Amino acid sequence: MGRFKIRAESLYLLKAQRSILRPRGRIVLLWAGGIGVAVSLFAMPLAAQSGSSKAPSPLAVLAPVTFTSTSAENVFVVVSANDGVKDLTLRLNDGPSVMPRRSDRNIHHFRTRLAIGPNVIRVIGSTGNTTVAEELAIFRLAKVGMRAVAPFPKYYFHTDLFEKRCKSCHETAPETASEKDPTVKSVCLKCHTPLVSEKFVHGPIAVGTCSICHNLSSEPNRYQLKQASFDLCLLCHTKTAEALKTSKFTHGPLGAALCDVCHEPHSSPNLASLRQPSGEICMVCHKTLESLYQTRTYLHIPFKQRMCCKCHDPHYSDENFLLKKTDDQICRSCHQEAMEEHTHPVGVIPKRKLPFEARYGEGGELLCVTCHNPHASEGEHLLPKEGCSACHMM
């Protein structure tokens, strides 16, 4: 039985690219060590799968396809239901039931957010007193942070196969493939309105068409990006492009040619079109700093408020640690007044080094961060836990 399951599973994977599959039985997703494994438990023997005499399900999922992966945060689920199917709802990972956003005759449209990693989507309805359900497994790849291996082929909707399921009611392609044609956008927005409906709409979306970045005639998958996303961004953001070339230090993700890990290219609820509020987005990758919030007693106010960009530049810098100004300048920009009563020397070379490892200026002089932790500490005043005795033999 165990071996049999694996064979049936690989069959599904092969077929998944070409046709809609209707898994029979419950989909079980296992999430182990960063790699998702989907196992479909069959109620029926393999031979019965193809020439099944069982009555066809009164529900059919038209999009997306089960056992595929995507990096999008949301997905539309379009279902056709036979007459007599009532009370259709969708449940993501056994969460709350949601109603269709739109229904037209027997076609029902849902939209759901996906969790990173494996997702099970169940569409449930009832005919009389029996429950009918369809399930799909969709794997969401992370755009930021964790990179998981996708266990399934990628889901592309804009292919002949899928689009023809919607043709009876929707125009999926603009009439002309002209870049300047403003009607391009209106065709796309018949379906993709949610993508551009957040508070901050990116410049070219507000004034231009989708075809500035998406290729209207790519094959076989339509509307692919014209260039790698990083190159697209730099095409218009020439100031950033220039600074990347001339700055001494480049932030990790930009060094890896990524902009859209942090920025949403269409619209976003956050300032600067960030995928998460500034500050929170930093923690997605800088996990060790996140742990300071729980483990350290004293948090520096700007750190506590997650105003990372008061001190760091998210893109590039000529200073160490991507600081916006030199170490001491950055601290003095907020603490000039406090420094008048400061008891300890700064900017001078100490007679002896501190009894623990600390960072000094290039000439060995005392920096603010030689004594203070800029983020958080165990001791008062962002100093070591032991207070004066951490540095002085008392």
**With CB under 6 A as the contact rule, which of the stretches 19-27, 84-92, 128-136, 179-187 interacts with ligand HEC?**
179-187
HSE on the CB side for 329, CA within 13 Å?
Answer: 7
Residue 285 is a binding residue for ligand HEC (CB under 6 A): yes
Amino acid letter, 157:
F
What is the torsional sign of CA 12, 16, 19, 21? positive
What is the torsional sign of CA 231, 267, 116, 10? negative
Name the nearest CA neighbour of 27 among 104, 116, 143, 121.
121
Task: Collect all residues with Cβ–Cβ distance below 8 Å to 99 and sequence separation of at least 6.
Answer: 88, 89
**With CB under 6 A as the contact rule, which of the stretches 5-13, 26-34, 123-131, 377-385 interacts with ligand HEC?**
377-385
What are the Cα distances from residue 175, in Å, to 110, 161, 216, 221, 326?
27, 19, 11, 17, 55
Distance CA 117, CA 146 (A): 10
Residue 26 is a binding residue for ligand HEC (CB under 6 A): no
Residue 338 is a binding residue for ligand HEC (CB under 6 A): yes
Residue 176 is a binding residue for ligand HEC (CB under 6 A): no
- Of 289-318, which residues contact ligand HEC (CB under 6 A)? 289, 300-303, 306-312, 314-315
**With CB under 6 A as the contact rule, which of the stretches 39-47, 116-124, 132-140, 161-169 interacts with ligand HEC?**
161-169
Residue 112 is a binding residue for ligand HEC (CB under 6 A): no
Distance CA 88, CA 109 (A): 10
* Upstream peptide bond of 45 is cis (omega within 30 degrees of 0): no
Minimum Å distance from CB 59 to ligand HEC? 14
Residue 6 is a binding residue for ligand HEC (CB under 6 A): no
- Of 137-156, which residues contact ligand HEC (CB under 6 A)? 143-145, 156
Of residues 93 and 278, the one with the C-beta less far from ligand HEC = 278
Residue 265 is a binding residue for ligand HEC (CB under 6 A): yes
- Of 348-367, which residues contact ligand HEC (CB under 6 A)? 350-352, 354, 359, 366
Residue 69 is a binding residue for ligand HEC (CB under 6 A): no
**Phi-psi region for residue 131, left (φ > 0), alpha (ψ -120 to 50) or beta?**
beta
Query: Of these, 221, 227, 291, 297, which contacts ligand HEC (CB under 6 A)?
Result: 221
Residue 281 is a binding residue for ligand HEC (CB under 6 A): yes
Minimum Å distance from CB 186 to ligand HEC? 9
Of residues 27 and 79, the one with the C-beta less far from ligand HEC = 79
**With CB under 6 A as the contact rule, which of the stretches 9-17, 29-37, 128-136, 380-388 interacts with ligand HEC?**
380-388
What are the Cα distances from residue 197, in Å, to 194, 213, 224, 254, 276?
5, 18, 21, 27, 16
Residue 328 is a binding residue for ligand HEC (CB under 6 A): yes
Name the nearest CA neighbour of 177 among 212, 139, 217.
217
Of residues 40 and 112, the one with the C-beta less far from ligand HEC = 112
